[in-house]
Amino acid sequence: MYPTVAEVLALPVLRHGRPHVVAGAAGLDAPVRWVHVAEVADIAHLLKGGELVLTTGIALPDDAAGLTAYIDELAAVGIAGLVFELVQRWSSHLPPALLEAAEKHGVPLITLSRETRYVTITETVNGLIVDNQVTELKAAEQIHRTFTALTVSGAEPAVVLREVARITEQPVVLETLSHEVLAYDAAGTDPGELLTGWQARSRAIGLGERTGYHGGAGWLITIVGARGHDWGRLVVVCADEPPHRHLVVAERAASALALHRLITRDSDSLERQAHRGVLSELLGSRVPPAELLARSSALAVELTGRRLIGVALRPRLSTTAKPALSAPPVLRELAEATALAARRARVSLLVADIDGTCVCALLSLSPEAAAESVLHRLATDIHEARTGAPAVVAVGTVVDSPADARRTLMEALQVASAALRAGSERVFHRLDDVRLRGLLQLLTDDERLKAFSTRELGPLLQRDASSGSRLVQALRHYCEHGGNKSAAAAAAHISRTAYYQQLARIEQILGIPLEDPESMLSLYVALLAHDIRVTDRE
């Protein structure tokens, strides 16, 4: 908002007087709040600080002690600088006492060797200051309108941060009070460089106020929270001390973020959203980029030099006592239960609902950790949590490199889908536990398996669709009970006579004998493959 002493000296109206800094050059970056002409020695008590004082020195005392006291008093009130015109009182140089006192206090002492109209200087500089203040007010008004619109529209944190980065042209980071990065906008800089070592750097930087600039770190920080509950910090990374309007931007953005959290408190937390972003990119990346590893590290989950285990959790919504319960709240509750279980086990993990049907997590363990013990405790805590529905917990293979994170995550997701259909009650499932279903789950996208299933079951599926019969279900009971017709009829809850008629109709439609072991095996594999595809679509 205010020009510095150096910027004022660069103005043409000052350049005309041939300014020369004779002492206190260290204070040339001081802001000039106003320009004041004073020809009396006893002027300090009338000043507020930040003034650039213009004088000819004609009324100043002659003795060194008096001149020193004059500078001491001006320095005490915090003037920005002192300008002497070397025309009337002193013609070539200032007394040493003035120079020594100004240098001692770091007060810029400037001489003008040419007669200058002080009124022109005051008009020019003070006009510049007023213009800057008006510009600042207009900018603040625009900032107010911008963030009010974002707040009213319920803008997501990423949108708010993008606006902060656009206005300030600086990177911005939203973190929790435990220094985990929830969202960021690198403002065109390298995200990896921005986030690498974030937690360690952030822990070392504290402020005693809600909004302030930490010069050592080059961070503008404001606290994010509402109703007396603070939950995060917004950090604008800027090497130079920011202008006042950037403080306004940070505070308005923090207010928008706090209000967004209050409004969307029943939705996913910002932490879950941040975890979902990293997990989704890990699932979609054959080789995770360095920036992704830095993002995970900024969330307090290291991926390098660690043992990684994919975990997938699928709720059994059909078994819940609340049939009207929808998946989203159950998945949110399941994700939070998983995060709580991880905190109790003192292990780090990424966890989030990733596709609306299951919760995905990536455990990060130290090389010395007992993976089996950690998994058992984690799964047990999840099962014991009071979530909206019981869940299947599946785990992937333990891997030692971020490049293999996708493999263990995909394996866990496939095992969870197979285990959900199998109905096993294990604490957690591995690929070995789901056997044939696990193999078929791994091959679910293979076009040859799809063709096989369609070829085997196509006629039955068409008959059920056209006539409303339940021949596919009758075949499923027959295969699941190993060809025992009486047991299959009991499972289907119909008489044996009626069930035997259904089996005869199946044999007629398919043109094969069901009692042939190979035929029953082929049909059972086709049924499992069909059911897996249907479950995945759901």
Percent share of the chain, pLDDT over 90: 38
Tokens representing 166 are 């656009």
Q: What is the H or E stretch that residue 196 is in?
A: none
- The Cα-based distances of 237 to 169, 219, 270 in angstroms read 10, 5, 21
**What's the confidence (pLDDT) of residue 416?**
86
Q: Looking at domain 276-435, which of 2.60.40, 3.40.220, 3.30.70, 1.10.287 is its CATH number?
A: 3.30.70
Residues of the chain with CATH 3.40.1390.20: 5-125
CB neighbours of 62 closer than 8 A, spacing ≥ 6? none
Scanning 96-197, the segments in alpha helix (DSSP H) are 96-105, 118-152, 157-168, 191-195
Distance CA(92)–CA(18), nearest Å, equals 13
**pLDDT digit string, tens, across residues 94-140:** 899 999 999 999 999 999 988 888 888 888 888 888 888 787 778 77
Q: Which CATH architecture has domain 5-125?
A: 3-Layer(aba) Sandwich (3.40)
Stretches where the chain sits below pLDDT 70 are 1, 227, 265-268, 317-327, 386-389, 421-424, 434-435, 437-439, 441-442, 535-538
Residue range(s) in the chain whose domain bears CATH number 3.30.70: 276-435
Numbered ranges of CATH 3.30.450.30 in the chain: 154-263
- What count of Cα atoms within 13 Å lies in the side-chain half-sphere of residue 461? 12
Task: Please tell me the distance from the alpha carbon of residue 80 to that of residue 31, in angstroms, as a whole number.
Answer: 7
According to DSSP, residue 426 is labeled -
Average pLDDT, the chain: 86
| Alpha-carbon Rg for the chain in angstroms | 37
393 phi, psi to nearest 5 deg:
-110, 125
- In what helix (H) or strand (E) does residue 78 lie, and over which residues does it extend? none
Per-residue model confidence (pLDDT) at position 435 = 65
Strand partners, 173: 184, 235
Tell me the residue type at 116: T
3-state helix/strand/coil string of 205-236 = CCCCCCEEEECCCCEEEEEEEECCEEEEEEEE
Q: In the prediction, which pLDDT does 492 show?
A: 87
The residue to which tokens 């810029």 are assigned: 108
Backbone angles phi, psi at 90, to 5 degrees: -120, 135
What's the CA gap between 364 and 359, in Å, rounded? 16
Q: Is 153 helix (H, G, I), strand (E, B) or coil?
A: coil
Cβ partners under 8 Å of residue 267, min gap 6? 332
pLDDT for 159-183, tens place per residue? 999 999 999 999 999 999 989 999 9
| 271 touches 296 (CB < 8 A) | no
How far apart are alpha carbons 261 and 115 in whole angstroms? 62
Could you read off the pLDDT of 283-331 as tens digits, one per residue?
Answer: 988 889 999 999 999 999 999 999 999 999 988 765 444 433 456 788 8
Domain at 154-263, CATH homologous superfamily: Dynein light chain 2a, cytoplasmic (3.30.450.30)
Whose tokens are 């606006």? That residue is 163
